[in-house]
Structure 1
Amino acid sequence: MQLEICVDSVESAIAAQRGGAQRVELCSALSEAGLTPSIGLIRAVRKAVNIGLYVMIRPRGGDFLYSEEELEVMREDILQAAESDADGVVFGLLTRSGDIDLERTRKLVDLARPMEVTFHRAIDMARNADAALEDVIQSGADRLLTSGSAQSALLGAPRIERMVRKSRGRIDIMVCGGVRAESVQEIASNTGASQFHAAVRQEVGSLMAHRPESLHLGMSATDDYSRKVVLIDDVVKLRTALDALAGAELSRSGE
C-alpha cells in the first residue's frame, strides 16, 4: 500500500516523510490544482527528504490543451527537474477533442527518462475513459492518477475498479479524490487499488504581529495571514489505515 502526499513547501514535504508517505508530489499554486514549482523549491525539498520526489510539470492553470510554446516550457521544466535529482515528473496532455495527446505525451515520457512519469488527472477530463487509459499505457507512462472521472474516488470507484483490472501489469493506478484516513479503506476495498494520493492540508495562522487590516494582497476575501500545510498526524492516520488494511489482507491470504 503506497501513499503519495501532495505538497507545496519544504515543511509539508518533511511532514509527509515523517508521517510515512513513500512519495511527495511537489507543486506550486495548489489553489489552481497545482503548477510547476520553482527550481529553488525542488532543490530544497530534495535536500530535505529522501523519499520519492515527483515534480508537477504544468505551465499554467486551466485546461490541458497546450501550445507549442507551452510545450517547450514543459520540456525545459522536465530537464530542470532531472538535473535537480527528482525521481519523477507528473504531467498530462489532451487534444482539442478531449483525447489523450498521445504523440506529444510519448515524446515527453521519453525525454523524462530515466525518471518515472505519472500521467495526472487530465485523464479524468478525457471524453472516453477506456480509450484514454489505453493511450496513456501506450505513451509509456509508469503511473496514472485518477478519481475515476468523478468528484471523489468513492463516487468514481466503479470506474477505478475497472481501470485497475484492465491495466494490471501494464501501468500502476493511483487513486485520488477525497482520500482520507476515514475513507481510504473503503476506497481500497471498492477499487482494488494499492496506491493512493492525498492532499491533506490544514490551515495554520501566521506569526506576524503587524497586520494592516485595510489591505489585501489578493481578493478582499483572502486571508493573507493564514496558509495551508501538511501535518504529520494527518499523514500518520492515513498510513495507519493503509497498514491496517494491508495487514488484514495478509491475514486473510494466510488462512
Structure 2
Amino acid sequence: MVMLEVIVQNRQEAVEAEKLGADRVELVSAIQEGGLTPSFGTLKQVLGSVSIPVQVMIRPHSYDFHYTAEDMEVVREDVQAVLDLGGNGIVFGALNRDYTVNEQALTDIINMAIGLDITFHRAFDEADSQEKAYRTLAKYKLDVKRILTSGGENDCVHGKEQLGRLVRLSKQLEGPAIMPGGGLSSENIRNVHQTVGAHEYHFGKAVRINRSFRSGFDQEIIQQVKGTMETGK
C-alpha cells in the first residue's frame, strides 16, 4: 500500500481529507511561511475530530533550521502540548550551523516520550550531505519514522533521481522511510513514483481546488493521485 499524506490547516480540512481518502495529515499553521506550529486550540480540535494519524508541525519560526536554547524551550513545550492532547505524531527538523543534523535537539524531543512518531522535515534538504544526514537519522529509526524531502532540489521532479537513491539507502539500512514531498501533482506523480518507488507521498496545494490553500480539497484529483500511486498508471 502507498500512503497519501496531505497538508491541513484546521479541523474542517482534516475531516474533509479523511473523508476523501487521505491516509495521514500534516497539521500546520502559516503555510505561506512553509508551515509553523499550529495553535493549541487548532491542535485540540483536529486531534479530537479524525481517526487517521495527525503529524503536527513543530517549528517555532521560519528563518532557518538552527534553533537557540530559547527556541528549543518553545519546541519542547509545543511537543508536550501534543502529548497532553493525546497525540504522538510530530514533524520536526533541526540543523547545526555546519548543516549537519542537530542530534542534541532531536534527542531532547525523543527523550520526552516513548513511542513518538517523528517526521524529519525538509530541513533535510539543506543538509550538507543527504547520505550522511540519512545515516545519522537512521540511528533514531525507532522514533524518526520518515523523512520528508524533495531530494535536495526545489521539487520532487528535479530531485527524483536522488530520491530514488535515498529510497534504496533506506531499504539497505532498514531506516526511516523516504517520503517525497515538494511540487508533487496529479500530473507528475506517475513519473516520480516510477523512478523513486517510495511507499508514502506528501501533497500540498496540488490536491486543492484551484491549487490554493484557501480552498478545500479536489476530490477528483485526490482519487486520481491515489489511483496512480497504487497502480503506477
Contact map agreement 1:203 1:229 (CA 8 A) in 2: no
Q: Could you tell me which residue of structure 2 aligns to residue 234 of structure 1?
A: 221
Name the TM-score, length of structure 2 as normaliser: 0.90
Task: Find the counterpart in structure 1 of residue 130 from structure 2.
Answer: 129
Match of 2:192 in 1: 187
> Is the CA contact 1:24–1:52 (under 8 Å) kept in the aligned structure 2?
yes
For 1:180-219, list aligned pairs within 5 A: 180-200=185-205, 201-202=208-209
Give the CA deviation at 1:50.
Answer: 0.8
CA distance in structure 2 between the partners assigned to 1:176 and 1:33 by the alignment: 12
Deviation at 1:112, TM superposition (A): 4.3
Any idea what SS the aligned residue of 1:111 has?
coil
Q: Which has the larger radius of gyration?
A: 1
Which structure 1 residue ranges, 5 or more long, are not aligned?
206-225, 249-255
The CA deviation string for residues 5-33 of structure 1, in whole angstroms up to 9 with x for no partner, is: 01112222122112211100000000000
Residue in 2 aligned with 1:208? none
- Cα deviation for residue 237 of structure 1 reads 2.4
How many positions carry a matched residue from both structures? Answer: 226
- In the TM superposition, residue 204 of structure 1 has moved relative to its aligned partner by 9.6
- Would you identify which runs of 4 or more consecutive aligned residues in structure 1 move more than 6 Å? none
Amino acid at match of 2:190: Q
Output the CA distance in 2 between the equivalents of 1:108 and 1:147.
24
The aligned residue for residue 82 of structure 2 is 81
Identity %: 32
Distance in 2 separating the partners of 1:104 and 1:46? 25
Residue 203 of structure 1 deviates from its aligned partner by: 5.4
Classify the secondary structure of the residue corresponding to 1:76: helix
* DSSP-derived class of the 1:142 partner: strand
SS in 2 for 1:65: coil
1:174 corresponds in structure 2 to: 179
Q: What's 2:60 paired with?
A: 59
Q: Which residue of 2 aligns with 1:148?
A: 151
> Deviation of residue 78 (structure 1)?
0.6
Structure 1 residue 244 corresponds to structure 2 residue 231: yes
Measured in 1, the distance between the counterparts of 2:217 and 2:61 equals 24
Query: How does 1:16-27 map onto structure 2 within 5 Å?
Result: 16-27=17-28
Runs of 5+ unmatched residues, structure 2: none
Residue identity matched to 1:242: M
| 1:139, distance to aligned residue in structure 2 (A) | 3.3
